Structure 1
Amino acid sequence: MFAKVKSEGLLGIESYDVEVEADLSSGMPRFDLVGLPDAAVKESRERVRASIKNCGYEFPLSRITVNIAPADIKKAGAVYDLPILIAILKAGKQIKANLDDYAFIGELSLDGELRRVNGVLPMVLRAKENNIGAVFVPYQNAFEASVVQGIDILPARSIKEIIAHLDFGELITPVSHDISEEETLGEALDFADVRGQNAAKRAIEIAAAGSHNIIMIGPPGTGKSMLAKRIGSIMPDMSFDEKIETTAIYSVAGMLPENVKLISKRPFRSPHHTISAQGLAGGGSNLRPGEISLAHNGVLFMDEFPEFDRRTKESLRQPLEDSTVTISRAGGTVSYPASLMVVAAMNPCPCGYLGHPTTQCKCTDAAKRKYQSKISGPLLDRMDIHIEVQNVEYETISSKERAESSAQIKERVNKARQIQKKRFEGTGITCNAKMTPAATQKYCIMSQQADAMMKNSFEKLGMSGRAYDKIMRVARTIADLDGSEIIEINHIAEALQYRALDRKYWNI
């Protein structure tokens, strides 16, 4: 007796089709599981056996062979418990219904209850692509799966509910597709609470409008972290595709909050400087996404930037260029999306007071060089905007006048991003910072005066090709904020001033 059941597997955040085949034949009773299962999948034999017995069904006294196809991809996790059990009961004719239009996803407890699994959203998206009519998922995963329209999401608490639906007409009500409410990863602070620092606010607004990487340098206590933590409040609204991508990553990582259907606010990740390269880029035995991918479509804030391990910092270089993280381990190779905006903050020297107007720096020249050398030239070159954050005067910080709110800044950011969306429609480019060199040449058209200033600066400062492209992209964003089709001389002048600190502190 033979049965075949549909399911889905995960490779990174990409899902692939899985067929669970069960064969019952005569011979000494045994239960073989094939198809490159890992330890968690092999243990499903005992969970399936106990679930069948404890739910009142008969576990076949036969030679049972279960194949999880395709057999050339390693299977991981407990997500295959449910399809294995359904395939065995179908092969033993304890389930009579036709299962061709169903897919099954879920982990089992020993008493037949279904438990939450990671990565349900990308798996349901794949099932929809294959024109599967309905997917059985654990009821804890129902909210995230319900954002996929065009397929019935059937939330089940136990095996008995599923079989009652299939054979006895006790139908499970599909989860509704209402995603009108917004889900967030934390409340954002407001720029209205920040006194002064108008130059830094302007640089941050430009960075948010074009998704440009930004590094802030300044003495302790000047508000670098305070500014960075408010960036989320002015980030542009997410498109539906971006919401789906972000939610899928958090689903795979097992970090999607309970009862959340869709992440609608851009993520803001702030790892501690002791994080490892693996924690930042991703990896581990299950090839989990790291902080870089968890910040996809959002912000990765790295406070005390020089204090991060050098190998950890350098792991940013490839993702910042390619917008993807590729992790290769003995267990396989996966790629996670990494289209993010990096915000870094640092002191100018070990004591923090280099260039301070009132407090003298006590660091030796050797100590300053050692500290600044912790940020490599190639990594600094990938930071589009460099901004110095200075102390605020007493009159400014004690003022009762409320500063410009995040809502006002975000309105300008959204307008600039809409201009970019229209400009890059059909190209796959999402914002100015992600322009290719060819796109930079096509869309960054300068006036004659702007071109003359850029040529003079390029020759005098000895810019790299990457630095030239980044200045042009930042100037394009400044022009978008001004509503200008052409990059004017004032746009180039402002973009150039955001690339001066590397020569002040690093002499490069």
Structure 2
Amino acid sequence: MTLAVVFSRALDGLTAPEVQVEVHLANGLPSFTLVGLADTEVKEARERVRAALAQSGFTFPHNKRITVNLAPADLPKESGRFDLPIALGILAAQEVIDIRRLASHEFAGELSLAGELRPVRGALAIALAARRSSLGRRLVLPAASAAEAARVSGLDIRSASHLTEVVQSLLLEDAVALPQARAPEPGQRPPEPDLRDVKGQAAAKRALEIAAAGAHSLLLCGSPGTGKSMLAQRLPGLLPPMTDDEALEAAVVQGVSAGGFNPVDWARRPNRTPHHSASAVALVGGGSPPRPGEISLAHAGVLFLDELPEFQRAALEALREPLESGHITISRAARQARFPARFQLVAAMNPCPCGWLGAQAATGRSCRCTLDAVARYQGRLSGPLLDRIDMQLDVPAVRPAELMAQPEGESSPVVASRVAAARARQWARQGCLNSALPTGTLDAHCALTPEAAAFVRKAAERLGWSGRSLHRVMKLARTIADLAGAEAVGPAAVAEAVQYRRSLPE
């Protein structure tokens, strides 16, 4: 038999399309040709496979013309994930292993020169694609990748550490089965920062609780040292545990990123804090092939942008569509990838370049910026972006004497219990959180009392709100009512929601 076909999978965004690795041995001038739109990393497999076969005790057909075709030919292939399928195809073409058994398996793995299997990126995406295909093939992966993919149920996943182990499981006689992959137990997580550590700032703590209950975006504006970053770091500790679907979806996104997925972070809500020097591509994703950015890596978690006006204007404007849709589509000339981006945005900023606008009463320091400088600084945030941020809160400076005299507040677990109860009401009522309510269902799920409706109508006219701002205030008021356990949205909930739509200080 001079032709062997081995099944594998490429990686295209979050999808893993099937790839047939066809290996043909023929007489002629000895050569090793790799075709099928292979990237440089894939073409380098020739040297890795040659050395791995030799070091593992197998004969490499030096006197044959070897042609490896990665089909379909129009699908780009990258990374070393095809090393193992190519090596097995060469052995099958030489009739070293049972070629009939290859049809019931899928393989992926990078080979070292000694024949050891190294993990591949996107193991979870490969496993999900294999399960969706409903072909019933057994998936063979390197040990670390197999442990990651074992999170996907309903699939036969086998683990291997060396090329010889895979070959022994496919022998014509005396085959040795590979071990079943097992998902590792989640590691010990460091405790989340406690909200009790923040003294004072009762209004900011209340806003943080509301934001956690309804997954609302939040902008904290205040002078240096008022506790903006400290408050933002405590938001993940107020959020309920991830569901299995959320954990799997977040892990898949992290698995296809450059950093990969860390098993210790399983079911732990992402908390991404990119530096303000990050580019638009770093935030929303890009590259060739397209990779997820910070907004996708923060899916089902928190994205904290400190010093918001210091980010590049193009990077901030790129957040506008994902804040509305919950996903990002990255288009390139030859490829397109779609990544989830349902993140909770928390941002912090100073009110002016020097940072002390409005802080003189508590700190004794006065702002030295001109009105034009303040306007230019705040103008770095466009109106459409601010319009998409649900809550905009001023975090005032507190006098040192008052700060030291403040008693300890509620701990994060106490607040988190109220947040969980409010979220449970939302899921039971409408099947989603309030921030994700479709516009067409607002009248049904955010019904206002006559007094509340009159109040919000007058506020919208006086403050010149857009339709988006009005809808976000209604969703915010619904969350406040859920925290209070109220069925109807009354004037008190609307009045509090209106306070969180104030503009930046001038």
Provide the TM-score with structure 2 as the length reference: 0.94
Is this contact kept in 1: 2:222–2:350, CA < 8 A? yes
Distance 1:269 1:178, change over 3 A: closer
Which residue does 1:88 correspond to in 2?
A: 90
Which residue does 1:282 correspond to in 2?
A: 285
> Within 1, Cα distance between the matches of 2:188 and 2:341?
21
Which residue does 1:270 correspond to in 2?
A: 273
Mapping of 1:188-207 within 5 angstroms? Answer: 188-207=192-211
Which residue does 1:362 correspond to in 2?
A: 368
Which residue does 1:127 correspond to in 2?
A: 130
The more displaced of 358-367 and 207-216 is 358-367
> Deviations 1:179-213 (Å, cap 9, x if unpaired)?
5x4675x6421101110111001111111111111
Tell me how far 1:303 sits from its aligned partner. 0.6
Mapping of 1:62-461 within 5 angstroms? Answer: 62-96=64-98, 98-131=101-134, 132-167=136-171, 168-177=174-183, 181=186, 187-256=191-260, 260=263, 263-330=266-333, 332-356=335-359, 357=361, 358-399=364-405, 401-425=407-431, 430-461=432-463
Q: Which amino acid aligns with 1:228?
A: A
Is this contact kept in 2: 1:143–1:261, CA < 8 A? no
> Within 2, Cα distance between the matches of 1:286 and 1:402?
50
The more displaced of 402-411 and 435-444 is 435-444
> Within 2, Cα distance between the matches of 1:344 and 1:34?
48
Distance 1:336 1:164, change over 3 A: same
Q: Which amino acid aligns with 2:31?
A: R
> Deviations 1:234-289 (Å, cap 9, x if unpaired)?
1122111100011111111143455x176211111111111111111112233221
Tell me how far 1:30 sits from its aligned partner. 2.0
Which residue does 2:52 correspond to in 1?
A: 51
Which residue does 1:499 correspond to in 2?
A: 501
Is this contact kept in 1: 2:140–2:146, CA < 8 A? no
> Within 2, Cα distance between the matches of 1:67 and 1:78?
15
Is this contact kept in 1: 2:251–2:261, CA < 8 A? no
Q: Which amino acid aligns with 1:48?
A: V
Q: Which amino acid aligns with 1:207?
A: A
Provide the TM-score with structure 1 as the length reference: 0.94
> Within 2, Cα distance between the matches of 1:256 and 1:400?
43
Q: Secondary structure at the match of 1:271?
A: coil
Q: Secondary structure at the match of 1:500?
A: coil
Tell me how far 1:434 sits from its aligned partner. 1.6
> Within 1, Cα distance between the matches of 2:406 and 2:203?
20
Q: Which amino acid aligns with 2:272?
A: R
Is this contact kept in 2: 1:195–1:396, CA < 8 A? no
Q: Which amino acid aligns with 2:335?
A: G
> Within 2, Cα distance between the matches of 1:400 and 1:351?
28
Q: Secondary structure at the match of 1:275?
A: coil
> Within 2, Cα distance between the matches of 1:422 and 1:89?
57
Q: Secondary structure at the match of 2:342?
A: coil
Q: Secondary structure at the match of 1:371?
A: helix
Which residue does 1:13 correspond to in 2?
A: 14
Tell me how far 1:79 sits from its aligned partner. 1.0
Q: Which amino acid aligns with 1:305?
A: L
Distance 1:27 1:261, change over 3 A: farther
Tell me how far 1:432 sits from its aligned partner. 1.3
Q: Secondary structure at the match of 1:386?
A: strand
Tell me how far 1:161 sits from its aligned partner. 0.8
> Deviations 1:150-170 (Å, cap 9, x if unpaired)?
222212111001111222332
> Within 2, Cα distance between the matches of 1:421 and 1:25?
62
> Deviations 1:437-472 (Å, cap 9, x if unpaired)?
113233211111111111111222221011111111
Q: Secondary structure at the match of 2:81?
A: coil
CA RMSD in angstroms, aligned pairs only:
1.8
Q: Can you give the 5+ residue segments of structure 1 that lack an aligned partner in the other structure?
A: none
> Within 1, Cα distance between the matches of 2:188 and 2:24?
44
Q: Which amino acid aligns with 2:129?
A: R
Q: Secondary structure at the match of 1:15?
A: coil
Is this contact kept in 2: 1:13–1:252, CA < 8 A? yes
Q: Secondary structure at the match of 1:12?
A: coil
The more displaced of 351-360 and 36-45 is 351-360
Q: Can you give the 5+ residue segments of structure 2 that lack an aligned partner in the other structure?
A: none
Q: Secondary structure at the match of 1:209?
A: helix
Q: Secondary structure at the match of 1:10?
A: coil
> Within 1, Cα distance between the matches of 2:334 and 2:43?
16
Q: What is the percentage of aligned positions where both structures have the same residue?
A: 43
> Deviations 1:354-391 (Å, cap 9, x if unpaired)?
11224221111111111111111011111100111012
Q: Secondary structure at the match of 2:409?
A: coil
